[in-house]
Structure formats: C-alpha cells, structure tokens
C-alpha cells in the first residue's frame, strides 16, 4: 500500500484527506491498477511522518504552522523528508510558503521555512482589496495524461494567497539582494547531506499556472470572468518531488488536482521500489 500524510498541525487538513479519498476512489474506478491500498493519515509527529510515502502541507497560517512544527520537533524531519529523501510533497497556500526557500518577512517576524522549491514567495500578494476570491483557472498540466481531452478550468480559491515572485538561480544557494535583506526569511541551508542531495538535483522550477492581477481583481469584485490566458503571477510550480499551489484545492469539491498528484505519487513510489 501507499501511505499519504497530511500535516495536521494547523489549517485545512481534514478537507485534504476528504478530497484524497475521493480522488483515490475515482482513480480506482477509472483504472484497476490504481486500486492500491491507499492510506491517508494525519501527521503530527516524526514517527507518523516516517510512515509516509508522500505528504501534503495544507493551507492555513504559515507562521503558526511553522511555530507548532518547531515545538513538535517536526522542522528537521520535514526538511529531510522533502530535501534528503525527496518524497513527493505538495504545499497549498501556507504550505507553499513553507516549501519555499525564501519568503518576505511579516510584521510578526516571519517564520522558519522548510524549503525545497528554489523560489521566493510574496505572501498575501493580492492585498487588502482582494483578500479572497474564486477564479476559473486554466491548469494545462491536468491535460498531461492525454485521453481525457481538454479539461475545463479549475475553480481556484485564493485566500490571502502568496504568489511566486521570483525563481531563484539553481544550485547557487540563495542570494538575498541588498534591498531585501531586512525583510526576508530563508530556509536554513544546513547539513552536508542536505547540500549534497540538492547538488545532485537536476530538476528546475517549472511554472504550471499563472493568474493575472486583473483577473484576480475582477473575480474579487464578483464579476464573471472567463479563464484568462493573459500572463500573470505564478500560482502553481513544481520542482522535482515538490509541488506548490497558491490556492486551496482542498476548499472545493473538485478532486482533479488531487487525482493528478496521486498519479505522480504512484509513479514516484514505483520508481523507488
Ligand atoms: N498568507 C497566509 C500565510 O502567510 C496563507 C493564507 C492561506 O493559507 N490561506 O500563511
């Protein structure tokens, strides 16, 4: 069987588990080879994390999540999970912030990051006027397994959402620019094992979806908009085993991204064993 964990220290973890179950049932219906014994568990401790083949970090409040993780002695095991064992890991919203190598500091002082994605995120990017909105988003990667033809757009829920504002140069460590220094938190670059695991990593950051500020504004004003194709801010990325979305698929009942991700998880587990 394959065990998928959802970090359950804070935030929308129950919703993720429900959608994972729905996605697994759908996959098994479509293709008997997916009728694995999937197990979905809440993760709060290092031994629970150790059981997992893959992990989701939910949306919520990244500073709180990070503080609770630190207090539960979970930060180092999480960094090992993502960057040394390189198991499939998906962060949504607050989870994306924690999986970034760099983020802007908040008034509360920022927090410790886990890292794994060579990006800098800007938290709460859309600002006061557009704190939360739902927008139909084009997600071309959902079409990647052929067969089903063009997927309709995805109902993406954004709540005080971060965006990826910069893709960091690969392999070079993080260079924080002079003007950013006082307002930046970075994931600690730590033991030799982390360094060497990352040095071997061939994978670059892939941009999977963008959203224009105009579309975000119109959606937050309650206007009906068509899925926009104009370029915009980066709201979904992938780098090797790590996947991040600015929005919250767990707050909809659309399980397509969870299905897509479980297929990636199954591939990754297959390659390991
Ligand atoms: N901006 C929030 C943070 O810093 C994330 C919000 C969310 O997950 N909905 O954690």
pLDDT at position 115 = 94
The reply to whether 59 falls in a domain is yes
Distance 209 CA to ligand 1 centre (A): 19
Q: Quote the percentage of the chain above a pLDDT of 70.
A: 88
Ligand 1, residues 9, 15, 57, 60: which to mutate, most atoms within 8 A of Cβ?
A: 60
Residue 131 lies in a domain: no
The ligand 1 atom at the shortest distance from the C-alpha of residue 123 is: 1
**List of residues 6+ apart from 5 with CB closer than 8 A:** 40, 41, 42, 43, 48, 49, 51, 52, 54, 55, 56
Residue 216 within a domain:
no
Q: What is the pLDDT of residue 199?
A: 57
Would you mind telling me the total number of residues written for the chain in this entry? 273
Domain presence at residue 56: yes
pTM of the model: 0.91
Ligand 1: list residues with CB < 6 Å.
59-62, 93-94, 97, 123-124, 159-160, 162
Distance 273 CA to ligand 1 centre (A): 36
- Identify which has the larger pLDDT, 187 or 210: 210
Mean pLDDT over 107-130 rounds to 84
In a domain, 85, yes or no: yes
Q: How many domains does the chain have?
A: 1
Instruction: Check which CATH number belongs to the domain holding 180 and give it.
Output: 3.40.50.880
| pLDDT at 171 exceeding the cut of 60 | no
What is the percentage of the chain residues whose pLDDT exceeds 90?
Answer: 62
- Ranking 83-87, 128-132, 244-248 by mean pLDDT, the lowest is 128-132
Supply the range of the domain harboring residue 45. 2-123+166-210+236-272
Nearest CA-CA partner of 84 in 111, 49, 39: 49
Report the pLDDT value the prediction gives residue 191, as an integer from 0 to 100. 47
- List active site positions: 93, 248, 250
Higher-confidence position of 228 and 258:
258
Ligand 1, closest atom to CA 58? 8
Q: What is the ipTM of this complex?
A: 0.91
Task: Please give the distance, rounded to the nearest whole angstrom, from the Cα atom of residue 162 to the centre of ligand 1.
Answer: 7
Q: For 242-267, what is the mean pLDDT?
A: 96
Going by pLDDT thresholds of 50, 70 and 90, the confidence category of residue 202 is low
| 153 domain-assigned | no
* 94 in a structural domain: yes
**Residue 156 belongs to some domain of the structure:** no
Q: Decide if 74 contacts 64 (C-beta within 8 A).
A: no
């Amino acid at each position: 069987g394959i065990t998928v964990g959802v970090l359950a220290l804070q935030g929308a973890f129950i919703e993720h588990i429900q959608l994972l179950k729905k996605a697994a049932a759908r996959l098994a219906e479509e293709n008997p080879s997916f009728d694995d014994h999937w197990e979905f568990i809440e993760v709060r401790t290092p031994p629970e994390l150790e059981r997992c083949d893959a992990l989701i970090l939910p949306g919520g409040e990244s500073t709180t999540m990070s503080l609770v993780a630190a207090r539960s002695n979970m930060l180092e095991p999480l960094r090992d999970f993502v960057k040394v064992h390189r198991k499939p890991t998906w962060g949504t919203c607050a989870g994306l912030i924690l999986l970034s190598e760099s983020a802007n500091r908040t008034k509360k002082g920022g927090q410790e990051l886990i890292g794994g994605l060579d990006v800098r995120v800007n938290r709460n990017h859309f600002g006061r006027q557009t704190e939360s909105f739902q927008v139909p988003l084009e997600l071309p990667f959902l079409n990647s397994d052929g067969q089903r033809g063009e997927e309709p757009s995805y109902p993406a829920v954004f709540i005080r959402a971060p965006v990826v504002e910069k893709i960091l140069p690969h392999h070079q460590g993080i260079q924080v620019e002079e003007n950013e220094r006082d307002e930046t938190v970075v994931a600690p670059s730590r033991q030799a094992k982390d360094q060497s695991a990352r040095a071997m990593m061939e994978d670059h950051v892939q941009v999977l979806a963008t959203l224009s500020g105009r579309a975000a504004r119109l959606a937050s004003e309650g206007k009906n908009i068509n899925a926009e194709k104009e370029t915009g801010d980066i709201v979904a990325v992938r780098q090797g085993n790590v996947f991040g979305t600015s929005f919250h698929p767990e707050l909809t009942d659309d399980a397509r991204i969870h299905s897509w991700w479980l297929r990636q998880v199954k591939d990754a587990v297959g390659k390991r064993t």
